[in-house]
Structure 1
Amino acid sequence: MNQLLDQKTTEKSAPFTAKQGQYLAFIWAYSQINGRAPAESDFQRYFKVTAPSVHQMLKTLDHMGLIQKQPGVARSIQLLITPQQLPILGVEQPVIISETGH
């Protein structure tokens, strides 16, 4: 019984990983800007990952009930969570540390 309660508490506090959150945030941002859902190739370009990686992530998000896709229909991704539940879409930037002369 306690395991079930602990599992539900964990799910509510962290419904998705940071990486999954970035994919969800990308879907929302892309859809807002372009008026349609992103294609898998759009994910590849943005996240600099392979096609199988994108496909697996979208299958995972669909299985988790965070998105919905229509099989065989291009750009059919729909978010099943509200924008308020999404993290801010981040852009990974390298950190440059400048050394000061002695």
Structure 2
Amino acid sequence: MQRHFRVSSPSVHQMIVTLERDGLIRRQAGAPRSIEILVPPEDLPILSWRRIELSKSL
């Protein structure tokens, strides 16, 4: 996220904290890289520019 958005590590942390506070993601305490997306797939934008096929599970 830091490279993609070209921001600092503290900025990425704040983004994660905000997403969690708003109920969009859930993190498991003590487990790195444990982010779970809580937004239904149909509410997410279609990422055709990333060549993601809708029929494939991420």
Q: TM-score, normalised by structure 1?
A: 0.43
- Distance in 2, matches of 1:52 and 1:66, equals 19
CA RMSD of aligned residues (A): 1.6
Amino acid aligned to 2:39: I
Amino acid aligned to 2:22: M
Q: Does residue 52 of structure 1 match 2:13?
A: no
Q: Does residue 69 of structure 1 match 2:33?
A: no
- Structure 1: runs of 5+ lacking an equivalent: 1-42, 92-102
Amino acid aligned to 1:59: V
Percent of pairs with identical residues: 54
Q: Comparing both chains, which one has the higher relative contact order based on Cα–Cα distances under 8 Å and sequence gaps of 6 or more?
A: 1
SS of the residue corresponding to residue 7 of structure 2 reads coil
- Distance in 2, matches of 1:69 and 1:50, equals 20
SS of the residue corresponding to residue 42 of structure 2 reads helix
Identify the structure with the greater helix proportion.
1
Amino acid aligned to 1:77: I
- Structure 2: runs of 5+ lacking an equivalent: 50-58
TM-superposed CA distance for 1:72, in Å, is 2.1
Matches within 5 A, 1:29-40: none
Q: Select the structure of larger CA radius of gyration.
A: 1
Runs of 4+ in structure 1 over 6 Å off? none
- Distance in 2, matches of 1:77 and 1:59, equals 11
